[in-house]
């Protein structure tokens, strides 16, 4: 279970460590490729921990988190949030010894991906493209690449065996008699320093429903033995990147099966890209295009649903980008709004369905505007509460709306409220005659709610017809 930030104390000790020797190229990669994804504060935390390492060594000196707070001029909560970003993107591994009176953490810095791995990662490079734009992305690719050796050049390098003679077995025996085997082996508590322990973007299999995938596969068409570990890792990445569920993934796999029943991974990636472009046009995927994971949908199997349950069902099926477009009567959301939502999903790791509820709640509270500071404040609160389902988010939204209404009434302050129809999960606490500008009568409410539900329900059909 994830360590809660408020369980971390300023007196807790920590020591910085690196999984390998960090070099100048790593600094440039972190600055130009990772910083646009994780932000300047997480980048600063990484660089601060790096600076604590002894030169060309793996370990730094043990100190307290209070010292780190003083250096970075950040509170412990913010340091913890930035630490999670580094962990999530694969740049940091955290270990803790909590058996002593004062806990001790080890923050192990991971070497960033090298340029060729980063630009072919399939996730990080696409997120970078969306974050910095085509022009800057191409500039970065040129910066981290150089001219190859011409193909007509012939290599004449000599091999080891051509230059050095091998050791005769009798000589090896005599040496072994003078030096014990133990002298040739590194002590178990030590490790050799290296510079090639690259970071990895960990996507656990739990984020994809393989049980549902396998239940829908025909053994005669795609044998389960074809789904190797490498194929599974690719499926998880593609599912995360393109928002592909288990049912759709089955059809995509059929386009990548070879005559020998193996799965062609490159063809699988291409099939996933083709599927995404068919669904969304030529836009590259962003976090805003993700939809609620199947395992977190609560209304998937329910055949008969009440109005509130129908709303939950629709919010579970639609992505934040689609939802923004739908509640704006088909108008494409602005780049600024999408950036706010993507930042929330990346930094706070809220599920897409929960973000849909957050979008509507915030818009109703701020005259149908997405204000960055307010969105981040609410998202941070919901992330700390570990909301995962649309139903949980709706219950909290109703509670917050009720508290806000009570606060307004108690303070006797009048403020302009947009004449927008509140869904019943936000408006049910209101009573007739209170805040007339914030609600309509029951007949109008039901009529407008039906319109909202119909717009959401028909959104995908209308989008597909327009493709």
Q: 257: number of CA atoms within 13 Å, CB side?
A: 20
Least confident residue range of 268-272, 309-313, 336-340, 419-423: 419-423
d(CA 213, CA 359): 31
Model confidence at 439: pLDDT above 80:
no
Whole-number Cα distances in Å, 457 to 5, 211, 462: 39, 28, 10
Is this structure's pTM higher than 0.85?
A: no
Nearest to 369 by CA among 359, 378, 379, 377: 359
Q: In this predicted model, which residue has the larger pLDDT, 440 or 340?
A: 340
β-bridge mates for residue 13, sequence order: 64, 104
Which pLDDT score, from 0 to 100, does residue 231 have? 86
Higher pLDDT, 350 or 445: 350
242-297: pLDDT as tens digits: 778 788 888 888 888 888 888 888 888 888 878 877 776 666 566 677 788 777 88
Residue 91 pLDDT > 90? yes
Buried b (16+ CB within 10 A) or exposed e, 3-37: eebeebeeebbbbbbbbbbbeeebeebbebbbbbb
Residue 442 has pLDDT above 80, yes or no: no
Q: How far apart are CA 235 and CA 252, in angstroms?
A: 10
Distance CA 203, CA 210 (A): 14
Question: What is the strand order of the sheet 13-18 is part of?
Answer: 63-64, 13-18, 104-109, 92-97
Nearest partner of 82 among 110, 45, 111, judged by Cα: 45
pLDDT in tens, 152-185: 888 888 766 667 655 444 444 444 444 444 554 4
CA torsion through residues 107, 113, 118, 120, sign: negative
| pLDDT (0 to 100) of residue 180 | 45
pLDDT digits (tens, 9 = 90+) for 367-413: 777 888 889 889 988 988 888 898 899 888 888 877 777 776 776 55
């Amino acid at each position: 279970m994830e360590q809660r930030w408020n369980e971390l104390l300023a007196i807790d000790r920590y020591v910085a460590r690196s999984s390998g020797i960090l070099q100048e190229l790593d600094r440039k990669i972190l600055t130009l490729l990772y910083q646009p994804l994780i932000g300047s504060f997480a980048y600063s935390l990484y660089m601060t921990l790096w600076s604590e390492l002894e030169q060309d060594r793996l370990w730094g000196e043990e100190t307290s988190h209070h010292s780190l707070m003083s250096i970075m001029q950040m509170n412990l909560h913010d340091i913890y949030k930035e630490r999670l970003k580094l962990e999530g993107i694969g740049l940091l591994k955290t270990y803790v010894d909590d058996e002593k009176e004062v806990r001790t953490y080890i923050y192990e810095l991971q070497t960033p991906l090298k340029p060729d791995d980063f630009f072919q990662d399939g996730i990080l490079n696409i997120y970078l493209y969306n974050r910095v734009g085509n022009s800057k992305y191409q500039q970065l690719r040129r910066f981290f690449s150089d001219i190859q050796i011409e193909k007509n050049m012939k290599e004449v390098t000599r091999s080891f065996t051509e230059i050095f003679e091998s050791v005769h077995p009798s000589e090896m025996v005599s040496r072994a008699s003078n030096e014990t085997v133990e002298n040739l082996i590194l002590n178990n508590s030590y490790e050799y320093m290296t510079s090639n322990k690259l970071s990895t973007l960990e996507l656990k299999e739990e984020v994809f429903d393989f049980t549902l995938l396998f239940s829908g596969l025909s053994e005669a068409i795609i044998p389960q033995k074809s789904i190797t570990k490498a194929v599974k890792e690719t499926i998880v990445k593609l599912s995360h990147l393109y928002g592909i569920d288990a049912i759709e993934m089955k059809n995509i796999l059929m386009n990548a099966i070879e005559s020998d029943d193996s799965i062609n991974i490159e063809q699988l990636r291409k099939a996933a890209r083709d599927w995404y472009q068919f669904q969304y046009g030529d836009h590259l995927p962003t976090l805003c295009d993700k939809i609620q994971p199947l395992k977190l949908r609560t209304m998937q199997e329910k055949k008969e649903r009440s109005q509130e349950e129908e709303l939950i069902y629709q919010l579970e099926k639609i992505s934040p980008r689609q939802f923004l477009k739908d509640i704006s009567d088909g108008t494409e959301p602005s780049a600024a709004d999408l950036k706010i939502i993507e930042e929330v999903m990346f930094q706070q790791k809220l599920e897409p369905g929960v973000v849909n509820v957050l979008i509507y709640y915030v818009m109703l509270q701020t005259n149908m505007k997405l204000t960055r500071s307010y969105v981040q404040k609410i998202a941070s609160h919901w992330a700390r509460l570990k909301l995962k389902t649309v139903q949980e988010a709706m219950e909290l939204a109703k509670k917050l709306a009720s508290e806000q209404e009570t606060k307004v009434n108690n303070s006797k302050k009048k403020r302009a409220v947009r004449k927008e129809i509140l869904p019943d999960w936000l408006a049910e606490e209101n009573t007739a005659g209170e805040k007339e500008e914030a609600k309509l009568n029951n007949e109008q409410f039901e009529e407008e709610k039906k319109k909202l539900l119909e717009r959401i329900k028909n959104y995908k059909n209308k989008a597909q017809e327009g493709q």
